[in-house]
Structure 1
Amino acid sequence: MSRALLIVDVQNDFTEGGALAVAGGDAVASAITAFLAAHAGDYRVIIASRDWHDPEGDNGGHFADAADFVDTWPAHCVAGTDGAEYDPLLETGAVTHHVRKGQGKPAYSMFEGVTDEDETVGAVLTASGVLDVDVVGIATDHCVRATALDAVAHGVRVRIVTDLIAGVGAESSAAALAELAHAGAELVESAQA
């Protein structure tokens, strides 16, 4: 049985000091690095995504000066800037595929992006015979949620590793985890993964 680890958007703009900082983002980056040191060999595929928005324009309505923080956001993760890079506390040496998403348009799920080889996440999982995925990263209530829902829709068994995620809000993160559990995802801690 092949397993994959999906690392969602552990980027400078989503960790402390970033344009859309999530409290606990740096701690999640460090914890994922420690988890990879112990468990990278358990996964056939390790995919890491990054928001990677165009430097010009509003990215299909994703960026707005008067952002509503639901459908529109301040500029973040602009291609070629430090904010778009992985958090330096995340060690990416074990990552087998890097995905960029959101070029010129809103994108929350890593399934909406492509690898450097122009492959979709779904295609990578299928080609690798992946039946089980573990999802970690930032933010529980946005991109982790969207990625996990798309993984469920892809037909694989999904586990959310709850001590390796960080969300924007406590209530919205709890609601996202409840929604994911109802969709069929399992909620586990890294000691169970």
Structure 2
Amino acid sequence: MHTPNHTALLLVDVQNDFLPPTGSLAVSGGRDILPVIHRLLADPSRYALVVATQVHHPPGHISFASTHAAPPFTIMNMLWPDHCVQNTKGWEIEAGVQGRLGELGDKVRYIHKVRVLFADNLYTSFTSLPGLLYTNGIKDLVIVGLATDYCVRATAIDACKFGFRTRVVKDAVSAVDVSKEDVVLKELERWGCEIVLGSDVLA
């Protein structure tokens, strides 16, 4: 049952550096999801809270190939192109989405993250997100954003672990590796996520 007072819309990393054609780590289908996200933001009465996350890397972050004078995608762990460096154009949320968020006033919260969203990999410490959701009475998360096979995946799995009803909007997420999109969505279903369409959320 849809209960707006217990529902949060969670926008994961809809940032310029993840969007074609100019993003340094662009997800090929990233722009295709924007119209669905705009529609979901058009009726804020559906949500008690809208949370927008941003990858927030410092210059010279350890995950950057440039930090190690190595070519991008070198496997050490994976080294990435410089992306989402704090306060750069690539770090900013896509302009159309940010415009919608700006209209929602104090219903919106922003979370800056280096990598994780709920907790570190060993669950020995937690970010501000669980407390934000729990203190606002949130029970139901609607997740959109980038990328399906990275931060969306990790966020959705953690949301299930933390006891939230978790809906991932299939037409409002996109994967870095397109061949893994359906595989990841099926994995998320096994964790307990509901895979829905934007039209289902708006129904």
The alignment covers a number of residue pairs equal to 179
Match of 2:89 among 82, 87, 110: 82
Match of 1:35 among 27, 32, 40: 40
What is residue 191 of structure 2 aligned with on the other side?
183
Runs of 4+ more than 3 Å apart: 68-71
SS at 2:118 equivalent: helix
Matched, 1:15 2:19: yes
Q: TM-score, normalised by structure 2?
A: 0.82
What is residue 64 of structure 2 aligned with on the other side?
63
CA distance in 2, matches of 1:32, 1:81: 23
Stretches of structure 2 that go unaligned for 5 or more consecutive residues are: 121-126
Matches within 5 A, 1:119-158: 120-158=128-166
1:112 CA drift (Å): 4.8
Q: TM-score, normalised by structure 1?
A: 0.86
Task: Provide Cα deviations, 1:67-106, integer angstroms capped at 9, x if missing partner.
Answer: 347732111000011000011121222351001010xxxx
Matched, 1:72 2:79: yes
- 2:94 is aligned with what amino acid? D
Match of 1:96 among 94, 108, 111: 108
1:141 CA drift (Å): 0.7
SS at 2:90 equivalent: helix
Higher mean C-alpha displacement, 183-192 vs 39-48: 39-48
Root-mean-square deviation (CA, aligned residues, Å) is 1.8
- 1:161 is aligned with what amino acid? V
- 1:130 is aligned with what amino acid? I
CA distance in 1, matches of 2:92, 2:32: 17
Task: Provide Cα deviations, 1:28-84, integer angstroms capped at 9, x if missing partner.
Answer: 2232112211x32111111000111002x2x2x311233347732111000011000
CA contact (8 A) 1:30 1:89 kept: no
What is residue 116 of structure 1 aligned with on the other side?
none
CA distance in 2, matches of 1:27, 1:146: 21
Matched, 1:163 2:171: yes
Larger radius of gyration: 2
Question: How many percent of aligned residue pairs carry the same amino acid?
Answer: 36
CA contact (8 A) 1:26 1:89 kept: no
1:25 CA drift (Å): 1.6
CA contact (8 A) 2:57 2:86 kept: yes
